[in-house]
Structure 1
Amino acid sequence: MKIPAQRYEVSEMQEYVERSLKELGIPYDKDYMGNIYRLIPNTPLLSAHMDALTEDYEIGKLSNIKESYGIIKGEGNIGADDKLGVYMLLELLKEYKCSFVFSVQEESGREGIQYFLSEKAKEVAECNWGLVLDRRGKEHFIGSLNSYCTVEFSEAVSEVTGFKEEHGSLSDADYLSNYISCVNLSIGYQNPHSKDEYIILKDAENSYIAARKMCSALYQEKFKNPEK
């Protein structure tokens, strides 16, 4: 019998994010749902989610996580979706003064980002564009084909990063894109939500470089909202 999907607790990840932001000297707020954020007008908005999902209780028991031949894997779901996105977002904040949101409950229906936007939609709309770090695979992004952004923004992202646009599945970009043009960038993990999840370090590094290129080249540009 298949055990129903269960959410990981996010309390430890929230503590990690808050501790990291404090160590970096970056101010932040935390809302009722537990979303951690900072909103600065006329800057890009970076986003990752702090919860993870597994399809089986046993899969969720981590052991022997290791790196070998450029691949990070463990005996169980390692939560790369979206711990890898959280890590990349924190690294980007060391270099770029951006708006950000570390969301909760993305895997259970994106309730966290919906609550965040119910409180902060006006401030989010003042951001220049959005970058969600939450896509499996490599060298592509989800954008205008999913109505996450304008064609102009997708073309700009493709030109700057060299990544290709593809159709994709659900993410917090579904709701952020109601207020700003945004894309969901592939960040180098594979087989999410399963015991066979893994990270290819070279792909993750290339995605981080692509995110840096976006923050450097497009930082001050303001893109229109997509038509819904």
Structure 2
Amino acid sequence: MKKSIVLLITLLFISAISLLVFKNLSSGEIYLSSVNKEHNNTQVILLIKNAQEELLSYFSKDERYDSFISKKEELSLPFHIKGIDFSLTLSKYNKEININDFSLSDKKKKKLFLQKIEIIFNENNGEINIFKDVVNSYFLRYKITKENPIINSKQVNNIMSDYLQKTYRKEANELIEKIGFLPITFRESEKKQNNNIQYILCTLDFKINKQEYRSHFILDIEKKTNNTGVIDFAFTFK
């Protein structure tokens, strides 16, 4: 019975998201029939923006966000509408290491953080001392502080590239997957920290007129990072 309820909730969620996507693709503004690449790029960005707004609206109700997080690690929804191959992938943005915690000023919290990353690096055959040197150098060079934190994946990737160079490694995928950023949780105040930041990692893939597009971004459901509710936006096409 319990499994049936979980399945029903999942199906209802998929149906709701599917309707949102169909609504956007069916609107007159988003009809993509042109073979002109520049026109398609503009229209795809508009479609992505609309999808972001619909997803933020959908997940803004706590019970929907909680239901999604508790029932699914990742959700992938493929569509084919109006000649467009479309895929939406959603998952909770959850990284074991918040790179911004290197800016912690509370000594006890900083000590616990450093102990935590040392364990993670040891478990993944990483070189923690080199990593700490790379992070400290990057923070100093770009003046990264509590007030001016790491705010996107590109910055994290740059740090990891420096780390790979200094360790003469070609890859460190296990570690890279564990390192991210949360611009809010590291901030210290007299009040209790809010550790329940609602972030959802989204990837949108399109294929239109044989042209492939990909966008990934993080939804800040409560819009605590900025008023758009979207951070770490990236858009690529082939």
Normalised TM-score (structure 2): 0.24
Bigger helix fraction: 2
CA radius of gyration, larger in: 2
Normalised TM-score (structure 1): 0.25
